[in-house]
Amino acid sequence: MDWGCLLLYPERTTLKSGSALRRQLSAVWLESEDEFLTARRLTTADFATSRNYGMTRKSLLIALTLLLTAAPLFGTRFVLQTSPSTAGDVAAQYGLTIVSQIPDSDLFLVDAPDTADVTELISQISSDPNVLDFELDTLATTPEASPHVLAPPNLSSPNNLLVTSRTLLPLAADINPGLNADQSTAGILDGVSQASIVTYYGAQVPSYYVNQTATSLINLGMAQSQYGAAGAGVVAIIDTGVDANHVALQGVLLPGFDFTRNRRGANEFEDLDQSTAGILDQSTAGILDMKTVVTLNQSTAGILDQSTAGILDTTMLPSDFGHGTMVAGIVHLVAPQAKILPLKAFRSDGTGRLYDVVAAIHYAVRAGANVINMSFDYGQTKSRRLDEAIEYATRNGVICVASAGNTDSSTAVYPAAISPAFGIASTTTDPAPDLQSAFTNYGTWIDMAAPGEAIRTTYPGNHYAAAWGTSFSAPFVSGTVALLYQFHAPLDADAASAALRNAQWINSSLGWGRLDVYQAVSTYAH
């Protein structure tokens, strides 16, 4: 039976204070479920400009009277900036309902009636003298693909390997360009097959987590051995949450907050039902004999020739489940004595609202964070609210680090391109290290790069994963900032910049170059 789906999407959006909201609709016919799953994950800008996703565009002329106003893509929620003393009056005047307020701020999340004309409402409220700003509560995304999930080794069966049986879905072609079994993936599997248990700052972890190409490239070991660099302070991670019970992380995790549910804690498992969460129970993974086919991407499959190999079927897990835990694992790898504050502003499908992200930034500042890691993007859409939140954090001595995105483009994306933040691109690891990753964004707006391919890191359920993408480059820099804080407190953005720019030059599109932890720490650790 044929499968097909017509996707309507806004190809261009213009939104300025006091002006109309215009969305030009385009249509694409999706011919497979794989195409649908890929398209579902992309931001509007990514999808409109993509040349890599293999979508078949039909010559369709669709007469539509629909204006995308209160459509599910954006909903009817807005971020209102006004004085707390006038917020109630403004809401009443325009038929808005105040949902919440960011503490100690003039920012409110408000609901508009379903019948409201969004264009007219934005124009009216933005021109009100009592209103400083009014914008849609838009979506951001964590754009990485599903990881290769690895089991921690155990002493009785050190060659145990757990790998996802799921095809790398969205962005697989960009995140793993040309991946095949005799290149980077083979190197990962070789490392895993030789893994043993080691102690890393009080936690029992697999050796392939501690000893990997990425950490060698950035000279992490030299900084640790020569200067005793282990980190200090608090790194806030705005993401999908974290597995609070992961053996590698539990000793450094602070309670955090879940902005998607407005309650304390930032548990990634909250997005799973009981049956789905059971997928991650290692005891349910079957042990197979001899040769196991592991799907690496849509066109390549590697054969593992091991005496025992387990398969973890993650096909039922949400597309970005584990993203926050993977990011946290990299921060901890670099700065194992820094505390981690998980702030869940994204659900496990990789989407999060502008208001929740802004609220998380304010929360991090109030909670005493020294660094904020932001492994997400809003595409090419610049938000005044996000700009001001990052500026607020910077004024308060909190350093913001953001991933540059994975669309192989020189066009600036946000928040990485917001000047107070450090925008981080990706470089290669094996087999040819220190090259610009094929998928990474790049350009004059990039501050620096860090390894972002085949990064072995923590994954929920006491598992580990191999990950690709700029989301996993940024936490190397966030962790390094925590190392700098150990030797230079207080540490502001200028002081961090002075140290981080002592990097390995790659090319003019990657800012200062590839992160060198040893050189950065040497700036203040004499």
How far is Cα 342 from Cα 238, in angstroms, rounded to an integer? 6
Residue-level length of the chain = 526
Query: Do 314 and 167 meet the contact criterion of CB atoms below 8 Å apart?
Result: no
Q: Give me the pLDDT at residue 16, please.
A: 34
Q: 382: buried, middle or exposed (CB in 10 Å: 19+, 13-18, 0-12)? A: middle
- Omega of the bond prior to 431 within 30 degrees of 0, cis? yes
Domains, the chain, ranges and CATH? 1-68 (no CATH), 77-137 (3.30.70.920), 230-276+319-522 (3.40.50.200)
Query: Do 161 and 304 meet the contact criterion of CB atoms below 8 Å apart?
Result: yes
The whole-model pTM stands at 0.76
Of 47, 9, 54, the closest CA to residue 31 belongs to 54
Each residue's pLDDT tens digit, 206-239:
999 999 999 999 999 999 999 999 999 999 999 9
Tokens linked to 179? 């991946």
Query: Do 459 and 465 meet the contact criterion of CB atoms below 8 Å apart?
Result: yes
Each residue's pLDDT tens digit, 438-468:
999 999 999 999 999 999 999 998 888 888 9
Secondary structure letter of residue 29 according to DSSP? E
Amino acid at site 447: D
Block mean pLDDT (10 aa), the chain, length 526: 49 35 43 46 36 35 30 64 96 95 95 87 94 90 59 36 26 28 43 76 94 97 98 98 96 97 94 73 34 29 31 64 95 99 94 94 98 92 92 98 95 94 96 94 98 93 89 98 98 98 98 98 94
Between β-strands 399-403 and 371-374, what pairing exists: parallel, antiparallel or unpaired?
parallel
Each residue's pLDDT tens digit, 80-98:
999 999 999 999 999 999 9
Q: Give me the residue label for tokens 């790049």.
A: 442
Q: Give me the pLDDT at residue 192, please.
A: 57
DSSP string, 320-383: TTTHHHHHHHHHHHH-TTSEEEEEE-B-TTSEEEHHHHHHHHHHHHHTT-SEEEE--B-TT---
Tokens linked to 139? 């979506």
Each residue's pLDDT tens digit, 286-324:
222 222 222 333 222 222 223 333 444 555 678 788 999
